[in-house]
Amino acid sequence: MINKERLLANLNAMQTISTIEGVPGINRIAFTDEDWQGRNYLIKQLKELGLSLRIDDFGNVIGRYEGYNPNAPAIMMGSHTDSVPQGGNYDGLAGIVAALEVISDLKESKETPEHPLDIVLFMCEESSRFGSATLGSQAMRGQLSRERLQTLRDKKGLSLYEVLKERGFNPDTIPHAKFTTPLKAFLELHIEQGIVLEKTNHTIGIVTGIAAPTRYKVHIHGTAGHSGATPMNHRHDGLCAAAEIILAAERIAQNSKPIPVVATVGVIEAAPGAMNVIPGEVTLGLDIRSISAEAKTRATQDILQAISEVGHQREIPIDTTLIADEMPLMVKDSMIKAMETVAQAKQYNYMTLPSGAGHDAMNWGDYTDVGMIFIPCRAGVSHNPAEAIDIQDLVTGTKYLKDLILYLDQQ
């Protein structure tokens, strides 16, 4: 039987590890001491379950529970260990404690599946530190070049390459260390980070597609000048150009049909930042997402064209730097059917829905069958100290994860 107290114990232990005095919320920022302490706690839980461990040179951890047939492709489940700054304790972690509980329950009930079961702890899923998301799963899939490891930097100027070395890893091996272990399926349980399940009174969300981001830094090279002495028709105002770009991105995303696209400018850095000086150099952080690669590409091209036109009309040079271009995932109909079959047979209160947020699961769609399970989060709040769940929803989600694994194991 799925044990609510064990789930709570793991969640509470991780919350204690991840709290910094005087700083709100959870702070397991990728590769920081808090993240590493949380990772070490979870590794300890894997060892106590008797799982054999593998650790790659990005720090990702895989614990294996052997099945009757050790040569059969494994069913992998898990999520990420890190958080955003001042985040919540359920984003990522819910999927890990659920996976731990599935194995605990199987061991207690002396159930051994045909296929091995793997629990994965992904490092650095959040983009908070290096500006690019799902880096741990990308590393496992052989998608991170040495150049990218050296290019991605945090606000202190440290490269991801340097941070990995500080943690005792050899980042030079990462581009050639592609995961090759056969998998039957990859499953990830996650809080919804939206309000749909709660508003519709559903406990289980069966995800039909996962949106992925394309991200750019937009560098606008305006000319700073005196705010009183420079006539309006002689200005090259970088922030005015930025305003036009922001509104153009919004307009293009709003007009994307039939498949939705969202576009966000979440970063604006304007120099010199004085009230009596016309802004010159401006940098924007642009994020474009969709569950459709084609729709996202189309919107991205239109936004880049709009940026070029703004620069031409205002006679301001504008450069764009691609930070990330990740592939969204449409979940296979066969997996959705399997997930619905289990939900219906066991009478789970479920619905199907897309994921607007990106997840590690999306990087596995070209390697194995992928299934993603959502549970509700209170008021849809996530990436926030107020992030909360009903623990009974996690218990139900964990039961469903176990039932799905046992169903897939027999197929």
| 62, 169, 176, 407 from 56: Cα distances, Å | 9, 8, 11, 30
The candidate with the shortest Cα–Cα distance to 354, out of 269, 223, 261, is: 261
Three-class SS of residue 321? strand
Amino acid 152: pLDDT: 94
The position carrying tokens 């399926």 is 185
- Three-state DSSP at 211 gives coil
DSSP assignment, residue 159?
Answer: B
Given a contact cutoff of 8 angstroms between Cβ atoms, the answer to whether 204 and 343 are in contact is yes
Q: What is the structure's pLDDT at 324?
A: 86
Phi, psi angle pair for 87, to nearest 5°: -100, -160
**What is the predicted pLDDT for the residue at 89?**
96
Residue recorded with tokens 């504008």: 318
The Cβ-side half-sphere exposure at 225, using a 13 Å CA radius, reads 15
Which residues, 6 or more positions from 33, have their beta carbon under 8 angstroms from its beta carbon?
Answer: none
Q: Are 172 and 161 in contact (CB under 8 A)?
A: no
Distance from C-alpha of 343 to C-alpha of 361, rounded to nearest angstrom: 20
Tokens read off for 389: 């769940």
Residue 137 is predicted with a pLDDT of: 97
* Helix, strand, coil tally for the chain in percent (to 5): 40, 25, 35
Q: Give the chain's residues under pLDDT 50.
A: none
Q: Which residue has the tokens 């091995």?
A: 116
The per-residue pLDDT for 265 is 97
Give the residues across from 236 on adjacent strands. Answer: 223
Q: Which tokens in the block code for residue 348?
A: 């789970």
**pLDDT tens digits for range 296-335:** 999 999 999 999 999 999 999 999 999 889 889 999 999 9
What number of helices (H) and strands (E) belong to the chain?
A: 11, 15
φ, ψ (nearest 5 deg) of residue 399: -60, -45
Angstrom distance (rounded) from CA 366 to CA 264: 28
Q: Which domains does the chain have, with CATH numbers?
A: 4-211+328-409 (3.40.630.10), 212-325 (3.30.70.360)
Distance CA(58)–CA(53), nearest Å, equals 14
pTM of the model: 0.90
- The pairing of beta strand 281-290 with beta strand 183-191: unpaired
